[in-house]
Amino acid sequence: MGENCGMHGCSLNRRRATKVISFHDILRIKDQDWRSSLVASLGREFTKEKLKMKSRKHLYICSRHFEEKCIVQGKKCHLVHGSMPTKFLPVSSHSNAVKPRKEPSFREPPVVPGRIIEEVKNEKKKK
């Protein structure tokens, strides 16, 4: 199965990533408080049932969402304990909310020339 970044709006996966970008499986983190905060920061809705499903063994987040000081470089990169994503975060849904529509401004009805009014009256008389 492919490794895709779980951050809402991030389309990066292992194939498209460069060697500089690393993927971190946040479901393997043992500290439950840190893991739940990371899952909450993804900008997606995950219920406990969804996270416990057998098909959901991995949930990755790419290193683009972290500051350089939050990633320990080495043969295998890993996150500094307690670090949270701060870059390229998803836009919260309430900022995209529909703004209330502006009230229409009042306009005077157009002035109809007298000749047109007389023609309309004449047509009514003919009928």
Residue 11 lies in a domain: no
Cα–Cα distance for residue pair 82/119, rounded to 1 Å: 82
Only one residue has tokens 């004449």, namely: 122
Express each pLDDT in 60-97 by its tens digit.
Answer: 888 888 888 888 888 888 788 888 888 877 766 555 56
Residue 111 lies in a domain: no
Residue 39 lies in a domain: yes
Domain count, the chain: 1
The secondary structure of 51-115 as a DSSP string is HHSTT----EEEGGGS-GGGEE-SSS-EEPTT----SSPPPPGGGGPPPPPPPPPP-PPPPPPHH
54 confidence band (pLDDT: 50, 70, 90): very low
Cα–Cα distance for residue pair 12/5, rounded to 1 Å: 6
What is the domain range of residue 62? 23-91
Residue 59 lies in a domain: yes
Residue 12 lies in a domain: no
Query: What is the arithmetic mean of pLDDT over 33-52?
Result: 73
CB atoms within 10 A of CB 10: 19
Helices (H) and strands (E) in the chain, counts: 3, 4
For the entire predicted model, the pTM comes to 0.58
Residue 33 lies in a domain: yes
Residue 120 lies in a domain: no
